[in-house]
């Protein structure tokens, strides 16, 4: 009897988690699925901040301090490349198997990272982790698109902002705690940074396995292997040079070789995508969709500018204020609260009004004002409390940008391509973040020696003891302290000039980051304001298969808004406002 009851219970669980015949999920089902997705997303978001906090301790323990960047680079390369692959394959074969695969690979990679004995092993195992991480964020957003109509989607996606924000605070705290422990249960403390992912991953896997049962009709497609291979050839050299270019030199032989290979890979990738047409990994016809193109370009710009603030503020707090990584994480709480508030508020407002275009524009404006203010306000002796309002403003701007852009893209593309469209926007944001991080760090470390040298020279001119310490430091020593900032503590009279020079350098980077973000405002001016559909991705696909809905939601939305008094299409809600309003 038990042998028949177990399958019966499994069937009942699937039925309880499955949508109605018309593809509708209840609020309780949506929240249950959300919980599983949020645990998995928390894994990926937390891992990045935890590892970055503890990487110095890890590198010292594995006797590979000069190789630590490769652990970050390997994770970045595989997660970035995997993101569009997950989106396309999940459109063809369904979200659930690939999401479970992503969680499983991430957990396996975490176990391997905890067992690493050298930095080379850690880099290789971090690459395995990255393969899993590439699907955790983009597939979660695509799954929400499947089960929640665009009109309500931002309200639920606001919960994801809470996950992102909480991981930003908890990451440095958890990383600092484990890195500071000699051993726990006979295992080095830093290894628990990776092992803690195992129970969290098992919980996420069990939750997704139990509650995520989405209807999917498999479609016959060619697999775009040439596109996947050429994408690797295009991205890997560029990501490597973005991470290592500052060390190699941007015009060095190795950097130029990476540029050449990346350019050749790009040409071959475009040729492969043209040949595979609708079966392509990234169908080029998506770029004829104005919402997709604007959102993609805007995401690159915002990704670059966003990391200017998120990267530099913790650096300032740790180097100038002397905060530990753990304390700096806690001092960033105002920014995190701003992100969460912006995400939740924009989600509620979009669900009530159906308008999303305003939020990226307001968000960009807030970010520009915040970064400009930081470039002026930040001094060597600026109080952390004085920075809090600008961190909140920067966070609000970020919160206003993340989800509205995803909702706009998901609403504007065919429901059959929601996965590849969602993952592509995430991919563009990651690429922008990589480019921004490389550019801003390069600018910072190029400017620092000059600014610090000028401040030390000014201090030495009026103080013989400071002059003696400056002479002892010398030029070679100045290069050393820009690589290891703790060395300046050996020269107490030069500490203040060092902090002033570092602050002057970071002010310039904040100013340039503001200029980069400002470009996003002009990009998002071209984002169409389309009526938001009242149907989830599953419902839209069912209608599309039955011939009840339009093939391209953007075309349908533009026709609906341009035809005054015309009836709204079946698969979209009536436009908010006057019937003759322009879509843009």
26 within some domain: yes
Same domain, 384 and 530: yes
Q: Name the least confident of 299-308, 391-400, 575-584.
A: 575-584
Contacts of 3 by beta carbon, 8 Å cutoff, 6+ apart: none
112 within some domain: yes
Chain position carrying tokens 């019966």 = 8
Average pLDDT over residues 240-254: 79
CB atoms within 10 A of CB 86: 29
Predicted confidence at residue 491, as pLDDT, reads: 72
Predicted confidence at residue 175, as pLDDT, reads: 78
Q: Name the least confident of 311-325, 372-386, 412-426.
A: 311-325
Higher pLDDT, 413 or 362: 362
CATH of the domain at 363: 1.20.1250.20
Same domain, 300 and 215: no
Average pLDDT over residues 298-302: 89
Same domain, 391 and 524: yes
Taking only the tens place, the pLDDT of each residue in 167-189 is 767 777 787 778 777 788 888 88
Taking only the tens place, the pLDDT of each residue in 443-477 is 887 788 788 778 877 877 777 777 777 777 766 56
Asked if residue 366 has pLDDT above 90, the reply is: yes
Average pLDDT over residues 415-441: 82
Same domain, 217 and 320: no
The residue among 516, 536, 556 that closes a domain is 536
Asked if residue 4 has pLDDT above 60, the reply is: no
Predicted confidence at residue 290, as pLDDT, reads: 92
Chain position carrying tokens 């100013």 = 511
What's the number of domains the chain is made of?
A: 2
Same domain, 205 and 300: no
The residue among 221, 250, 270 that closes a domain is 221
Taking only the tens place, the pLDDT of each residue in 82-102 is 888 888 888 888 888 999 999
Chain position carrying tokens 């176990």 = 111
Same domain, 310 and 202: no
Predicted confidence at residue 418, as pLDDT, reads: 82
240 within some domain: no
The residue among 515, 536, 557 that closes a domain is 536
Please report how the helices 553-562 and 384-412 are oriented relative to each other, as an axis angle in degrees rounded to 10.
Answer: 90
Asked if residue 226 has pLDDT above 70, the reply is: yes
232 within some domain: no
Q: Confidence class of residue 372 from pLDDT cuts 50, 70 and 90?
A: very high
Please report how the helices 358-377 and 495-524 are oriented relative to each other, as an axis angle in degrees rounded to 10.
Answer: 160
Q: Which among 317, 343, 342, 341 is positioned nearest to 329, based on CA atoms?
A: 317
Higher pLDDT, 4 or 573: 4
Higher pLDDT, 311 or 93: 93
Same domain, 207 and 354: no
Asked if residue 381 has pLDDT above 50, the reply is: yes
Which ranges in 94-224 belong to alpha helices (H)? 95-114, 119-147, 150-179, 192-195, 197-211
235 within some domain: no
What domain range includes position 495? 295-536
Predicted confidence at residue 444, as pLDDT, reads: 80
256 within some domain: no
Contacts of 274 by beta carbon, 8 Å cutoff, 6+ apart: 280, 284
Higher pLDDT, 580 or 536: 536
Average pLDDT over residues 67-96: 82
287 within some domain: no
Q: Confidence class of residue 568 from pLDDT cuts 50, 70 and 90?
A: very low
Phi-psi domain of 453 (left: phi exceeds 0; alpha: psi -120 through 50; beta: other): alpha
Higher pLDDT, 525 or 212: 525
Same domain, 510 and 376: yes
Q: What percent of the chain has pLDDT over 90?
A: 14
Instruction: Give the DSSP H/E element, type plus range, for residue 396.
Output: helix 384-412
437 within some domain: yes
Q: Alpha-carbon dihedral of residues 416, 417, 422, 427, nearest 10 degrees?
A: 150
Same domain, 65 and 160: yes
Asked if residue 565 has pLDDT above 50, the reply is: no
Higher pLDDT, 365 or 53: 365
Task: State how beta strands 183-184 and 187-188 pair.
Answer: antiparallel
- Please list the residues that pair with 187 across neighbouring strands: 184
Taking only the tens place, the pLDDT of each residue in 505-527 is 888 888 888 998 999 999 999 99
- Tell me what the pLDDT averaged over the chain comes to: 78
Same domain, 420 and 513: yes
Predicted confidence at residue 286, as pLDDT, reads: 87
Q: Name the least confident of 157-171, 351-365, 493-507.
A: 157-171
Predicted confidence at residue 17, as pLDDT, reads: 55
Predicted confidence at residue 21, as pLDDT, reads: 55
Same domain, 216 and 336: no
Same domain, 417 and 300: yes
Average pLDDT over residues 111-122: 89
Asked if residue 112 has pLDDT above 60, the reply is: yes
Average pLDDT over residues 154-164: 72
Q: What is the pTM of this model?
A: 0.78
Average pLDDT over residues 490-495: 73
Asked if residue 259 has pLDDT above 70, the reply is: yes
Taking only the tens place, the pLDDT of each residue in 329-346 is 778 888 888 888 888 888
What phi, psi does 146 have (nearest 5°)? Answer: -70, -35
């Amino acid at each position: 009897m038990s042998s028949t009851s177990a399958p019966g219970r499994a069937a009942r669980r699937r039925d309880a988690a499955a949508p109605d015949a018309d593809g509708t999920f209840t609020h309780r089902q949506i929240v249950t699925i959300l919980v599983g997705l949020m645990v998995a997303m928390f894994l990926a978001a937390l891992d990045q901040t935890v590892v970055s906090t503890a990487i110095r301790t890890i590198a010292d323990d594995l006797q590979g301090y000069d190789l630590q960047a490769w652990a970050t680079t390997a994770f970045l390369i595989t997660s970035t490349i995997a993101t569009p692959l997950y989106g396309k394959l999940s459109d063809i074969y369904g979200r659930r198997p690939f999401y479970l695969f992503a969680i499983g690979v991430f957990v396996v990679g975490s176990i391997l990272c905890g067992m690493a004995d050298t930095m080379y092993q850690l880099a290789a195992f971090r690459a395995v982790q990255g393969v899993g991480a590439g699907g955790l964020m983009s597939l979660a957003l695509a799954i929400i698109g499947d089960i929640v109509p665009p009109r309500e989607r931002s309200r639920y996606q606001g919960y994801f902002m809470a996950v992102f924000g909480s991981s930003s605070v908890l990451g440095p705290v958890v990383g600092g705690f484990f890195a500071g422990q000699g051993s726990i249960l006979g295992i080095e403390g830093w290894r628990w940074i990776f092992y803690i992912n195992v129970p969290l991953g098992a919980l996420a896997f069990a939750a997704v396995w139990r509650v995520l049962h989405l209807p999917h009709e498999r479609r016959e497609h060619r697999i775009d292997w040439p596109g996947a291979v050429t994408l690797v050839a295009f991205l890997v050299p560029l990501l490597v040079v973005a991470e290592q270019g500052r060390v190699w030199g941007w015009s060095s032989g190795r950097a130029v070789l990476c540029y050449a290979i990346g350019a050749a890979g790009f040409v071959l990738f475009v040729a492969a995508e043209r040949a595979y047409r609708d079966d392509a990994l990234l169908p080029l016809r998506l770029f004829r969709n104005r919402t997709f193109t604007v959102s993609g370009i805007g995401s690159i710009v915002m990704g670059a500018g966003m990391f200017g603030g998120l990267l530099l503020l913790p650096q300032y707090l740790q180097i100038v204020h002397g905060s530990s990584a753990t304390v700096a994480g806690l001092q960033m709480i105002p920014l995190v609260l701003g992100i969460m508030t912006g995400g939740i508020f924009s989600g509620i407002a979009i669900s009530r009004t159906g308008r999303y275009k305003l939020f990226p524009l307001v968000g960009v404006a807030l970010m520009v004002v915040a970064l400009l203010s930081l470039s002026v306000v930040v001094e060597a002796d600026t109080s952390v409390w004085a920075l809090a309002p600008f961190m909140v403003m920067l966070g609000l701007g970020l919160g206003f940008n993340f989800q509205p852009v995803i909702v706009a893209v998901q609403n504007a593309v065919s429901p059959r391509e929601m996965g590849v469209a969602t993952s592509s926007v995430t991919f563009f944001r990651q690429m922008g973040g990589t480019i921004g991080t490389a550019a801003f760090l390069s600018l910072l470390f190029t400017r620092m020696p000059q600014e610090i040298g000028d401040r030390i020279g000014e201090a030495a001119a009026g103080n013989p003891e400071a002059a003696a310490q400056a002479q002892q430091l010398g030029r070679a020593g100045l290069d050393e302290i820009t690589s290891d900032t703790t060395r300046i503590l050996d020269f107490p009279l030069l500490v203040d000039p060092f902090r002033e020079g570092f602050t002057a350098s970071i002010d310039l980077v904040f100013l340039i980051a503001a200029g980069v973000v400002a470009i996003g405002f002009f990009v998002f001016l071209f984002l169409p304001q389309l009526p938001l559909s009242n149907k989830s991705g599953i419902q839209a696909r069912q209608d599309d298969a039955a011939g009840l809905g339009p093939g391209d939601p953007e075309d349908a939305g533009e026709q609906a808004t341009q035809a005054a008094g015309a009836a709204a299409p079946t698969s979209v809600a009536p436009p908010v406002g006057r019937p003759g309003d322009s879509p843009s």
